[in-house]
């Protein structure tokens, strides 16, 4: 019998976190059972998921943007931000169908910045296992029910269009819609969830005790880790990390390093960041933040630095800016060499703690 429990939300923010979300579900559920008992009983694992985890899928999915990559070891080339989500649990088949839609941006030469929207319905067969203090959550794609319906809304290079080819990937729509988005969905995912350290996400299936690859080794277990990744910020481009949630009495910690030109790091509230990101995705003229910048500083090449930002409780974007239109750094315009692309590769850890 199909047991339908649909939840929906229209809160903007958080990609294929449709994947990451399942792991956060179990962390929130706080399973009281001994690991050996849970691991040995698939029916118990499904009961725990369907009763405690499924309801967390959409709320967690809508919290934070997730990077788009060509493979798990590559730096992020853009982000997808789900804006609506609902789910249906099928107890008889032990699957969950998730329908989501949202917007995002990516960067690919020669098209440069691309803004898009996409929607899809996928069916996942989730499972998990307890390994010491970690919960390993796996999401294996059972089938793609519909989509992804991928639509390009903005292309920075006016001479490029959706029908143009990007060797060897075919058209722009084929690359982002089929190669990147569908490719991520069909690989499945692993999340290593830990209530104290945070959650580690990777595409593909990892078995305990293996952990996802990441640029920094986190030493402080007292802080909750939101993200530990590398991103490429092309010339005249930005990346909107987060939004990250800061609670009462907490601070945001950023550990960062950059290879390439100096970039600006700016912290803005979600209320300021949402319209700023929307303008970036839809091709509005680049400009400064449409509200106060609450923290940050230029990030120059050199050893990694950790900075603490005391913020009021709320949701915040960390914006990496490689343009001359915001922040303190003004990269020179290469008039005589329009093909020059001063890429900054930023590796960072975003954490929250006291």
Look at residue 12 in the predicted model and tell me its pLDDT. 28
More confident site: 192 or 118: 118
Residue 100 has pLDDT above 90, yes or no: no
pLDDT in tens, 228-276: 889 999 988 999 999 998 988 889 999 999 999 999 999 999 999 999 9
pLDDT in tens, 142-153: 888 987 888 888
Average pLDDT, the chain: 77
Rg (CA), the chain: 20
Of the candidates 257, 330, 263, 319, the residue with the CA atom closest to the CA atom of residue 294:
319
Burial 284-298 (b: 16+ CB within 10 A, else e): eebeebeeebbbbbe
Residue 214 has pLDDT above 60, yes or no: no
Look at residue 340 in the predicted model and tell me its pLDDT. 67
- Label residue 353 by pLDDT band (50, 70, 90): confident
- Label residue 193 by pLDDT band (50, 70, 90): low
Look at residue 307 in the predicted model and tell me its pLDDT. 94
Pairing of strands 314-321, 263-269: antiparallel
pTM recorded for the entire structure: 0.77
Mean pLDDT of 123-134: 73
Q: What are phi and psi of 279, to 5 degrees?
A: -65, -35
ω before 324 within 30° of 0 (cis)? no
Residue 94 has pLDDT above 70, yes or no: yes
Lowest-pLDDT range, 28-42, 158-172, 180-194?
A: 28-42
Mean pLDDT of 111-127: 85
Percent of the chain having pLDDT more than 90? 28
The three-state secondary structure class of 145 is strand
Look at residue 41 in the predicted model and tell me its pLDDT. 62
Number of helices (H), then strands (E), belonging to the chain: the values are 7, 15
More confident site: 127 or 28: 127
- Label residue 37 by pLDDT band (50, 70, 90): very low
pLDDT in tens, 279-308: 999 999 999 999 999 999 999 999 998 999
Residue 66 has pLDDT above 90, yes or no: no
Look at residue 157 in the predicted model and tell me its pLDDT. 85
């Amino acid at each position: 019998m199909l047991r339908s429990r649909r939840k929906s939300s229209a809160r903007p923010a958080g990609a294929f976190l449709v994947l990451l979300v399942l792991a956060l579900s179990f962390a929130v559920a706080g399973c009281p059972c001994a690991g050996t008992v849970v691991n040995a009983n698939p029916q118990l694992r499904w009961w725990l998921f369907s009763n405690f985890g499924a309801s967390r899928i959409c709320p967690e999915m809508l919290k934070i943007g997730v990077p788009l990559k060509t493979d798990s070891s590559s730096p992020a080339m853009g982000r997808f931000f789900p804006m609506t989500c609902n789910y249906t649990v099928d107890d008889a088949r032990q699957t969950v169908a998730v329908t989501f839609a949202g917007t995002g941006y990516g960067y690919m030469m020669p098209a440069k910045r691309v803004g898009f929207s996409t929607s899809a319905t996928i069916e996942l067969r989730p499972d998990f296992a307890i390994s010491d203090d970690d919960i390993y959550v796996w999401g294996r794609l059972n089938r793609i029910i519909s989509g992804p319906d991928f639509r390009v809304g903005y292309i920075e290079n006016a001479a490029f269009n959706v029908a143009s080819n990007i060797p060897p990937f075919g058209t722009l729509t084929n690359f982002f819609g089929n190669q990147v988005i569908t490719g991520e969905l069909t690989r499945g995912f692993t999340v290593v969830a830990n209530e104290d350290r945070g959650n580690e996400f990777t595409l593909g299936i990892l078995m305990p005790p293996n952990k996802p690859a990441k640029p920094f080794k986190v030493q402080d277990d007292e802080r909750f880790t939101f993200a530990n990744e590398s991103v490429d910020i092309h010339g005249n481009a930005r990346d909107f990390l987060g939004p990250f949630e800061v609670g009462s009495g907490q601070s945001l910690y950023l550990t960062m390093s950059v290879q390439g030109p100096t970039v600006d790091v700016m912290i803005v509230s979600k209320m300021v960041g949402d319209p700023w990101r929307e303008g970036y995705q839809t091709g509005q003229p680049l400009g400064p933040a449409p509200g106060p910048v609450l923290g940050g500083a230029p990030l120059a090449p050199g050893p990694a630095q950790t900075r603490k930002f005391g913020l009021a409780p709320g949701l915040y974007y960390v914006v990496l800016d490689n343009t001359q239109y915001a922040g303190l750094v003004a990269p020179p315009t290469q008039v005589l060499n329009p093909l020059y692309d001063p890429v900054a590769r930023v590796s960072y850890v975003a954490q929250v703690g006291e």
